[in-house]
Amino acid sequence: MADPAFTSSTLVVPGLNKVPRHIAIIMDGNGRWARKRFLPRVAGHSRGVEAVRGTIRAAIERGVEYLTLFAFSSENWRRPADEVSFLMQLFIKSLHMEVSRLHENGIRFHVIGDRSRFEPILVKAIEAAEELTANNTRLHLTVAANYGGRWDVLSAVNRALAKQPGVTEISEEMINAGLSMNYAPEPDLFIRTGGEQRISNFLLWQLAYTEFFFTDALWPDFNGKLLDQAIASYQNRERRFGRTSEHLTTGGEVERHA
Ligand code: IPE
Ligand code: IPE
Ligand code: MG
């Protein structure tokens, strides 16, 4: 497990990498992709799985170490029951079809989110995939399913309270340690497809100093070229983490991207 103190952008100024170590993506726009083609919304979700496959491949080629994909939010239960059910079945089917390929490619698979509402067959498939890939190191692939940023922070606080009964103050380190993605550095780059410019209860705590990239492209159309666009935009940002620009250009301890 990564030491959370070394990956917190507010406790330590993080080192910079030309290629983002951690990219987090809100995969949005599947429904609109389908509607544009006079197809049912769920056809967009099926095509979305293909975009996931291509994005994983591209991320590995670019040297990304952590890829985190928002697949289903804690608020997505508000959708029509048949769409929710389709998404759950698609998740189960994709796990069964893809896990061995993930493993062959050295990918470590994680799911973050509240599993208590999932069918037992889905929970079992997730656990099996996590176990199978537990020793892989090429890419940490995290799928956020029934995930909410507020749920994550609250769970971390409750974990801290349970660990040290009677504690009256919770520290940032305690929350970092209790987050569901405590194995990963904070995302360097956040991408949202589908044109909306909002976080929709994704990684609220960890996005404190993340660079944001929004594209109108709909998720099923996302590909390596768009990933490169996002990475190029990221490489043009000056990540100051609260310091001044002068401090960075006159030899502050962390330099701009090379
Ligand atoms: C994202 O696409 C996938 C999920 C939220 C599961 P949407 O289904 O939100 O597609 P739009 O935003 O309606 O086009
Ligand atoms: C965010 O997309 C969640 C996922 C992509 C899984 P939504 O489509 O649910 O977000 P809102 O409702 O437009 O904010
Ligand atoms: Mg949407």
- pLDDT single digits (tens) 219-240: 999 999 999 999 999 999 999 9
30 is catalytic: no
Quote the DSSP letter at residue 255: P
Exposure b/e, 40-72, CB count within 10 A at least 16 = b = ebbbbbbbbbebbeebbebbbeeebbbbbbbbb
Secondary structure string (H, E, C) spanning 225-248: HHHHHHHHHHHCCCCCCCCCHHHH
- pLDDT single digits (tens) 113-149: 999 999 999 999 999 999 999 999 999 999 999 999 9
- pLDDT single digits (tens) 150-207: 999 999 999 999 998 888 999 999 999 999 999 999 999 999 999 999 999 999 999 9
Residue whose entry in the numeric block shows the structure tokens 């159309």: 221
Supply the pLDDT for residue 256.
46
CB atoms within 10 A of CB 254: 14
Task: Determine whether domain 28-233 maps to CATH 3.40.1180.10.
Answer: yes
Which residue's C-alpha comes closest to atom 1 of ligand 2? 200
Which residue's C-alpha comes closest to atom 12 of ligand 1? 29
| CA dist 226 → 129, 176, 218, 232, 235 (Å) | 28, 31, 11, 10, 14
| CA dist 229 → 186, 217, 221, 226, 248 (Å) | 21, 12, 14, 5, 25
Distance 219 CA to ligand 3 centre (A): 10
Distance 33 CA to ligand 1 centre (A): 9
Chain length of the chain: 258
Confidence (pTM): 0.94
Residue extents of the structural domains in the chain: 28-233
223 is catalytic: no
